[in-house]
Amino acid sequence: ECYAEITQRARALGIKVCTHLIVGLPKETRDDNIETLQKVLAVGTDGIKLHGLHIVEGSTMAKAWRAGRLEAPGLEEYVAIASEM
């Protein structure tokens, strides 16, 4: 809802909007990623960039990943999800 409101307001003022989506966030599924993309397209955007999840060394997320408590998609899975989107 916030995304839709802010995006619509910005575009109404002539501001171009490029939306960045992250593939591989914890607990998100392929269906979640596709649903998010559909919502973005329904609102309207001037550009879309897809990013794979980047886990920063030393972060809480990195510690969880190293301990096996967090899964992150590899390149092949990222490409498969991105191509479905």
Res 11: pLDDT = 96
Res 35: pLDDT = 96
CB atoms within 10 A of CB 13: 7
- Within 8 A by CB and 6+ apart from 10, the residues are 17
CB atoms within 10 A of CB 33: 20
Q: What is the pLDDT of residues 2-51, one digit of tens each?
A: 999 999 999 999 999 999 999 999 999 999 999 999 999 999 999 999 99
pTM for this structure? 0.82
Confidence band for 1, pLDDT divided at 50, 70 and 90? confident
